[in-house]
Amino acid sequence: MVAPRCSPRIERSKARRLSLRGRQAHLQIAQMRLFGTDLVLLHPPSVYDFRERAAEYGPISDVIFSTPAFEMYPIGLTSIASRLENHGFNVRIINIAHRMLDDPTYDPELVIAASRAEVFGIDLHWLPHAHGALKLAEIVKRHHPRTPVVFGGLSATYFHEELIRLPFVDFVVRGDSTESSMLQLMHALLGKASLQGVPNLTWKRSDGTAVVNPLSDVAPRLEEPVPDIFYVLRSVFKYRSVKDVMPYTGWLDYPITALLTSRGCSMGCSVCGGSRSAYRAICNRPRPAFRPPDALVSDIHRIQRFTRGPIFLIHDLRHGGREYERRILQLLSRQKPTNEIILELFFAAEDDYLERVGAALPRWSLEITLESHVERIRRLNRRFACSNEAIERTISRALDNGVGRLDIFFMVGLPGQSYNDAIGCVDFCRELLERFSGDRRLQFFVAPLAPFLDPGSAAYENPQRFGYRLRFQTLKEHAVALTAPSWKEMLNYETEWMSREQIASATYAAMRRLTLLKRDWHFIDEATYSSSMQALNTSEAAVLAADRGSGFPRGDGQPPHSSLTTLFQKRYLKWPLGRGRRFGSIFSLAGIGLGLTAREARLFFGRRLPLYFSRRGEPSATTADTSWRAVSGSGE
């Protein structure tokens, strides 16, 4: 996808506008405005200038809803924004990645230059955003040199010491639950509080030396809904933009919603940056923080007032303990949800769990990230470390208890996995179809571990033990890797069993075999089979062309395809919408709108006005080297 080039005259006009706005921004003084925006949260694309690059992204985002631009922003942005707004701050989310995908003429630099925010926040939760996040920070600092730039997210936490050394990064808020830390930071930046008292904060003094405050704010419970979908709805009316807060491209056509059941995980999967050991090392979290059952069920019922789309409960309910999942299912059985509920399984279900799920939920589906059909590999990876017979019994229980669909995911690039192991998952899928008489509720997916092995995961931290060879170590190296011409070149690892070339080859081979299997068992028709095969062949040819440096193959005078929109398996990710509608009734939506309007009025008079008058005339600093003005040198 290539953005249209402007004429030299338009480019000069644009440069003059940017220069003027930059000078205006330079004169800004951080001071709360009654109707102003205090914090703008920017979500970057994976690669900032992806519209101008020729690259083959292949299947790296094939089993998630977003494109390879990774435009789905972290759902934690909504809970941060909601917490701050509940305390009187005005917070806006702008999904830069989605806006750039949606409109080829959208200019993020002009938008940022025109923004009048007192603080800018940029998420670096997932490492595939490394390039885009750093570029956005550079742009913000170029046009708003005296406006604080804050980073947050798991990857930002992991690389906080490298980030804080960059001239365009002022703060890094560390950890997995930063609502409270961000609130305290905003008070420090716009009030009299000292930066030294803000937990989880990495910052720098006026002489540039880094200060790492203790990572002491680790919330023991998940206090607010994540995501807070009603913050999103309020922000649409408040800031008059649907596109800015769109979760991903096409969400209005298929409004699936995710709900986080916990922060942290009880599992120790070796390749996962969200594992128990990773959260302990990165976020200082000794155990998961769970959303209370009553609150979680209330979140589900609130969401179904707005949307008829499926509701995905992130994490296996069972890792909260038997009483935790029993309470959730008990509450759901009393007032049964009308939306499809999608559950995850992290280990085999050998008890009556799935029977109780079937009794509580009228419509439900199941996600099993099995990753490999080989028991030895699963044990090495510490995920589904059980027999294949236990897997089959779990599948049988799910089918017998009314599961609407059961998705099983496999992965290429695991520890201990050879080429034959990787493509052999399709034979296992065939055995399952034979075992369950071709039950069409079974759906199979395969994808590479790409583009990166997660920093913080056991395999990344101890690669030799798990048979990995790491290619990149720093944040900058990962950011540069994302600009490679193909997804194979982006990989930050190889294994003792497969080179990067073999990982790519095994991925395409497994996907072809799986596509053929689906055609043979009549899961897809001949036309879908042919288009999928053509897409796979074209993608692999582009990877090979990138290896040779010969450029991508072309046809009919046009680029062969847009790898940002190529569909391999993504089309099979959708579940049926409840009652055939995307959103609630007009009466339900009207009630939500009235409630949001009343809430906004209460926040303005009860929170915003008191906060504004308490800040008027206050300097933004108190003591040297502990405040934003002292650090930035902007304390005129």
- Of 79-83, 432-436, 526-530, 609-613, which range is least confident? 609-613
Residue 356 lies in a domain: yes
Helix (H, G, I), strand (E, B) or coil at 566: coil
Residues 90 and 171 in one domain: yes
- Of 105-114, 186-195, 246-255, 554-563, which range is least confident? 554-563
Domain count, the chain: 2
- Of 106-115, 238-247, 337-346, 443-452, which range is least confident? 238-247
Specify the CATH number for the domain of residue 276: 3.20.20
Which long-range contacts link 25-28 to residues 24+ away (Cβ below 8 Å)?
25/113, 25/143, 25/144, 25/145, 25/146, 25/147, 26/144, 26/145, 26/146, 28/116, 28/144, 28/146, 28/147
**How many angstroms from the chain centroid is the CA of residue 196?**
30
Residue 590 lies in a domain: no
Predicted local distance difference test score (pLDDT) of residue 497: 97
Residues 267 and 358 in one domain: yes
d(CA 566, CA 536): 9
Q: Which two tokens stand for residue 344?
A: 């995850």
d(CA 83, CA 182): 9
- Of 59-73, 166-180, 269-283, which range is least confident? 59-73
Q: Residue 393 CB: number of other CB atoms within 10 A?
A: 15
User: Which DSSP letter does residue 607 get?
Assistant: I
Residue 368 lies in a domain: yes
- Written as one string, the DSSP assignment of 188-235 is HHHSS--GGG-TTEEEE-TTS-EEE-------SB--S-SS-HHHHHHH
Predicted local distance difference test score (pLDDT) of residue 557: 37
Residues 372 and 409 in one domain: yes
Predicted local distance difference test score (pLDDT) of residue 500: 96
Angle between helices 8-26 and 130-143 in degrees, nearest 10? 70
Residue 332's domain comprises 255-580
What pLDDT band is residue 633 in, cutting at 50, 70 and 90? very low
Residues 440 and 486 in one domain: yes
Stretch (H or E) spanning 140 = helix 130-143
Residue 553 has pLDDT above 60, yes or no: no
Residue 239 lies in a domain: no
Look at phi and psi of residue 250 and say left if phi exceeds 0, alpha if psi is from -120 to 50, else beta.
Answer: left
Of 604 and 443, which is predicted with more confidence?
443
What pLDDT band is residue 562 in, cutting at 50, 70 and 90? very low
Residue 588 lies in a domain: no
What pLDDT band is residue 345 in, cutting at 50, 70 and 90? very high
Amino acid at residue number 451: P
Q: Which two tokens stand for residue 171?
A: 């703060």
d(CA 439, CA 429): 12
What pLDDT band is residue 139 in, cutting at 50, 70 and 90? very high
Q: Residue 81 CB: number of other CB atoms within 10 A?
A: 27
Strands 262-263 and 201-204: unpaired
Predicted local distance difference test score (pLDDT) of residue 616: 66
Residues 531 and 627 in one domain: no
Mind listing the pLDDT tens digit for each residue in 58-96? 888 877 778 888 899 999 999 999 999 999 999 999 999
Instruction: List the beta bridge partners of residue 289.
Output: 263
What pLDDT band is residue 300 in, cutting at 50, 70 and 90? very high
- Of 54-63, 183-192, 272-281, 567-576, which range is least confident? 567-576
**How many angstroms from the chain centroid is the CA of residue 338?**
26
Report whether 170 contacts 137 (CB < 8 A).
Answer: no
Residue 55 lies in a domain: yes
- Of 140-154, 307-321, 555-569, which range is least confident? 555-569
Output Rg (C-alpha) for the chain, integer angstroms.
25
Stretch (H or E) spanning 365 = strand 364-371
Predicted local distance difference test score (pLDDT) of residue 622: 37
What pLDDT band is residue 10 in, cutting at 50, 70 and 90? very low
Contacts of 243 (CB under 8 A, 6+ apart): 95, 98, 99, 102
d(CA 488, CA 563): 14
* pLDDT mean over 484-509: 96
Residues 217 and 281 in one domain: no
Stretch (H or E) spanning 93 = strand 91-95
Amino acid at residue number 424: G
Residue 165 has pLDDT above 70, yes or no: yes
Residues 572 and 610 in one domain: no
- Of 7-21, 234-248, 253-267, 488-502, which range is least confident? 7-21
Tell me the helices (H) and strands (E) count for the chain, helix number first. 26, 17
- Of 8-22, 282-296, 372-386, which range is least confident? 8-22
Predicted local distance difference test score (pLDDT) of residue 87: 94
Residues 290 and 200 in one domain: no
Residue 211 has pLDDT above 60, yes or no: yes
Contacts of 101 (CB under 8 A, 6+ apart): 45, 67, 69, 71, 249, 564
Predicted local distance difference test score (pLDDT) of residue 449: 95
d(CA 290, CA 314): 11
* pLDDT mean over 126-146: 97
Residues 423 and 528 in one domain: yes
* pLDDT mean over 589-616: 80
Mind listing the pLDDT tens digit for each residue in 364-417? 999 999 999 999 999 999 999 999 999 999 999 999 999 999 999 999 999 999
Residue 227 lies in a domain: no
Mind listing the pLDDT tens digit for each residue in 470-484? 999 999 999 999 999
Contacts of 448 (CB under 8 A, 6+ apart): 58, 59, 60, 411, 412, 413, 487, 491, 503, 504, 507
Phi, psi at 427, each rounded to 5°? -65, -35
Residue with token string 């519209």: 51
In the chain, what percentage of residues exceed pLDDT 70? 86
What pLDDT band is residue 605 in, cutting at 50, 70 and 90? confident
- Comparing CA positions, the residue from 133, 113, 114 lying closest to residue 125 is 133
Instruction: List the beta bridge partners of residue 122.
Output: 42, 151
Specify the CATH number for the domain of residue 628: 3.40.50.2300
Predicted local distance difference test score (pLDDT) of residue 350: 85
Residue 127 lies in a domain: yes
Predicted local distance difference test score (pLDDT) of residue 249: 83
Average pLDDT, the chain: 87
Residues 554 and 511 in one domain: yes
Predicted local distance difference test score (pLDDT) of residue 549: 79
d(CA 98, CA 383): 33
Instruction: List the beta bridge partners of residue 201.
Output: 173
Residue 226 has pLDDT above 70, yes or no: yes
Of 60 and 316, which is predicted with more confidence?
316
Residues 409 and 368 in one domain: yes
Residue 305 has pLDDT above 70, yes or no: yes
Residues 180 and 278 in one domain: no
Residue 179 has pLDDT above 90, yes or no: yes
* This prediction's pTM: 0.89
Residue 543 has pLDDT above 70, yes or no: yes
